[in-house]
Chains A and B, each alone.
Chain A
């Protein structure tokens, strides 16, 4: 009994120590995540011009939401964001998987290739956007390359028909993180399984689609979820390179939200927008998670 009591004491002391060690994170979470979230939920039902202090917050009920749905710029920002997500999420995944597949090959100097493909991911976004602004200029490298094959390229970022696609192309450059995750997934695929398929007469593409893809489906699932969350929150590149223009063709949802909050001083409206986006992201993430039971294969049945 005495031993049990002592072990109980040790246990509770260890628990207490554990809590103390995680306390900085818990405090940070409450102060800098949960509290602002609650505050923004309250603000979404209020009008606040942000610069005049908390005393001027005024309750307006659902007015922010109703005026949002009548705001053509809100719908334009949703359209731009959805278009971007629908095109880039599958394209980036396919491109990343393809590059990862090449990088998984066992050939000489592969480590150098892996570094080269990952390098753009460690370049700060702002620096990368500066480089790409020059690449997309009318006399930039991209148009100079196109002119070699007789194509006269547009001024990518100042043409409303091409600006959004330019940002999509630029995004391809920064998929290094996704590639690395796919690469680790590919390296985990059992050689025995592939060998067995080969013995049974399976061709290369059959092995890829029937063995490799199902085996890395949890990795695909993870990358898709992260891509859904990240793409809907796209902001920095558009903020730096196009500021939503030309003619609102790159007015991403988060960019418009930012403009509402910090350029037009409508923090209530911006908070309401943030909650709408939160719901949209949650819905799509849930959709991917729910659908995962149909296409994600867990070897050890360690499902979410």
Chain B
């Protein structure tokens, strides 16, 4: 009977505590010495080992007695090894003061994971953000200014040029260190142009030239069904906004102080009507939402010789090359202005060990990080020394991707508070225009009002 009681108590206690599992602390005892330099040869396995090591360590008493500062880093990603995996592995093995715990979250769930981690008060010390959210996180008070840390670190050899550093400045304060960036330009399928006997896009192209070419590249079969499309007028905001910018329009004033008269200007309304008009009717030159549902996104359609041109960033390169597509890049028609995409790391304002986090931040955006990214990733690395290697590796057909940087303009989300507010309502604007919910000017006026509530 006694045995039964003891068993019951033990079982209940174990089960109760299992409910509470997961609570941790930011400092932990150092684990007994391990051979962390052991090469696994597989970054994914290395990451799992890292996690399992962290789990083991968290519950163990230190034999050596030393204390490591744990810095928790999160980024989005998939199961492919990224530069961060190698960086973290090398860093953790190289010194005893700081331990980095890297948490890679699938892209779809990244925003939610970030939000919930911060809401619990146990957020990450360092997190990755896309440029579109740079202002938003700062506005929510989640991002630590880096200016003092930079000023105090007189030994820091900043590998980035001024323009790249400036991408991480919000309201005059350095908040992010950009890890990579990606210009947007026009991508085209050379084989489809050749087959249709149409000249390739050139620097002198206007949007009218693109439309005329796209008309020739759009074909139907004998049943009247579309076989190919000349250009994809995507609903993706960055493609829409790049189109507007290349026509000289902007949603906000030059000093980013207001959207009144910009977002709801007649020019913007007319341009949007033209752009989305390309996706409608029997004489359309662009796939519509239903076509995209059927044939896949722009990259998939280009791979299948269904799409001749679309606007996208450098990330399309890998997919097109793997599929053996004979593609090339060109500047966006018009004045060539184009958005760029960037992602940067920030130290969270809830981080308790800012100096240690700063050391990790430097690692994640430093020379070695750029070197690894230049070797394996599609985006441009931030270290000037490594950028040249990437530039040299570009073929003539890919050069426009680089040229496009000379014409790049910051995405709307990076243009101050007003830009960030406008950015939050653009998705609805596009949807309403596509579905003809009202006339475009009314939709833009509504969006202007809605943006003020954000």
Interface residues of A (CB under 8 A from B): 13, 17, 20-21, 23-24, 27-28, 31-32, 49-54, 133, 137-139, 155, 157-160, 245-247, 262-263, 265, 267
User: Which chain A residue has the least Cβ–Cβ distance from B1?
Assistant: A13
In the complex, besides A53-B350, A247-B437, 5 extra interface pairs with C-beta distance below 8 angstroms are A17-B4, A31-B20, A51-B118, A262-B112, A265-B140
* B288–chain A nearest beta-carbon distance, Å: 8
The residue that B121 contacts in the complex, of A20, A53, A137, with Cβ under 8 A, is A53
The residue that A160 contacts in the complex, of B5, B16, B119, B435, with Cβ under 8 A, is B435
Q: Is the CB of A137 within 8 A of B294?
A: yes
* B352–chain A nearest beta-carbon distance, Å: 13
Within 8 A of A (CB), among B428-450: 431-432, 435, 437
Q: Does B221 sit within 8 A of A, measured CB to CB?
A: no
For B5, list chain A residues within 8 Å (CB): 13, 17
For A28, list chain B residues within 8 Å (CB): 19
* B93–chain A nearest beta-carbon distance, Å: 33
* A109 CA to B145 CA, complexed, in Å: 70
* A139 CA to B294 CA, complexed, in Å: 6
* A285 CA to B377 CA, complexed, in Å: 55
Q: Does B141 sit within 8 A of A, measured CB to CB?
A: yes
For B123, list chain A residues within 8 Å (CB): 51
Q: Is the CB of A247 within 8 A of B142?
A: no
For A157, list chain B residues within 8 Å (CB): 293
* A91 CA to B111 CA, complexed, in Å: 37
For A21, list chain B residues within 8 Å (CB): 8, 11-12
Q: Does B9 sit within 8 A of A, measured CB to CB?
A: yes
3 closest A-B pairs (Cβ-Cβ)? A155-B290, A24-B15, A51-B118
For A267, list chain B residues within 8 Å (CB): 119
For B11, list chain A residues within 8 Å (CB): 20-21
Q: Is the CB of B290 within 8 A of A138?
A: yes
* A245 CA to B20 CA, complexed, in Å: 38
Q: Is the CB of B12 within 8 A of A262?
A: no
For A53, list chain B residues within 8 Å (CB): 118-119, 121, 350
Within 8 A of A (CB), among B111-136: 111-112, 114-116, 118-119, 121, 123
Q: Does B291 sit within 8 A of A, measured CB to CB?
A: yes
Count of residues in B whose CB is under 8 Å from the partner chain: 34
The residue that A155 contacts in the complex, of B8, B19, B293, B431, with Cβ under 8 A, is B293
User: Which chain B residue has the least Cβ–Cβ distance from A243?
Assistant: B427
Our count of residue pairs bridging A and B at CB distance below 8 angstroms stands at: 81
* B45–chain A nearest beta-carbon distance, Å: 26
For A51, list chain B residues within 8 Å (CB): 114-115, 118-119, 123, 140, 142
Within 8 A of A (CB), among B152-182: none
Q: Is the CB of B435 within 8 A of A23?
A: no
Q: Is the CB of A54 within 8 A of B121?
A: yes
Q: Is the CB of B140 within 8 A of A247?
A: no
Interface string of B80-118 (1 = CB under 8 A from A): 000000000000000000000000000000011011101
User: Which chain B residue has the least Cβ–Cβ distance from A32?
Assistant: B19
For B290, list chain A residues within 8 Å (CB): 137-138, 155, 158-159
For B431, list chain A residues within 8 Å (CB): 245-247
* B385–chain A nearest beta-carbon distance, Å: 36
The residue that A52 contacts in the complex, of B1, B12, B118, with Cβ under 8 A, is B118
Q: Does B289 sit within 8 A of A, measured CB to CB?
A: yes
User: Which chain A residue has the least Cβ–Cβ distance from B112?
Assistant: A262
User: Which chain B residue has the least Cβ–Cβ distance from A20?
Assistant: B12
The residue that B291 contacts in the complex, of A50, A138, A160, with Cβ under 8 A, is A138
* A57 CA to B237 CA, complexed, in Å: 33
Within 8 A of A (CB), among B396-454: 431-432, 435, 437
For A133, list chain B residues within 8 Å (CB): 293
* A139 CA to B123 CA, complexed, in Å: 45
Interface string of B233-277 (1 = CB under 8 A from A): 000000000000000000000000000000000000000000000
10 A-B contact pairs sorted by A residue (CB < 8 Å): A13-B5, A24-B19, A27-B19, A28-B19, A51-B142, A52-B118, A155-B293, A157-B293, A246-B431, A247-B432
* A27 CA to B12 CA, complexed, in Å: 10
User: Which chain B residue has the least Cβ–Cβ distance from A56?
Assistant: B141
For B289, list chain A residues within 8 Å (CB): 155, 158, 246
Given A49-B140, A158-B290: A31 touches B19 (CB 8 Å cut-off): yes
* B225–chain A nearest beta-carbon distance, Å: 10
User: Which chain B residue has the least Cβ–Cβ distance from A52?
Assistant: B141
- Chain B CB within 10 Å — which of A32, A155, A160, A267 has the most? A155
For A17, list chain B residues within 8 Å (CB): 4-5, 8
For B16, list chain A residues within 8 Å (CB): 23-24, 27
Within 8 A of A (CB), among B7-59: 8-9, 11-12, 15-16, 18-20
* B365–chain A nearest beta-carbon distance, Å: 23
User: Which chain A residue has the least Cβ–Cβ distance from B290?
Assistant: A155
* A1 CA to B32 CA, complexed, in Å: 61
* B229–chain A nearest beta-carbon distance, Å: 14
* A183–chain B nearest beta-carbon distance, Å: 35
Given A160-B435, A267-B119: A23 touches B12 (CB 8 Å cut-off): yes
The residue that B294 contacts in the complex, of A49, A138, A265, with Cβ under 8 A, is A138
User: Which chain B residue has the least Cβ–Cβ distance from A53?
Assistant: B121
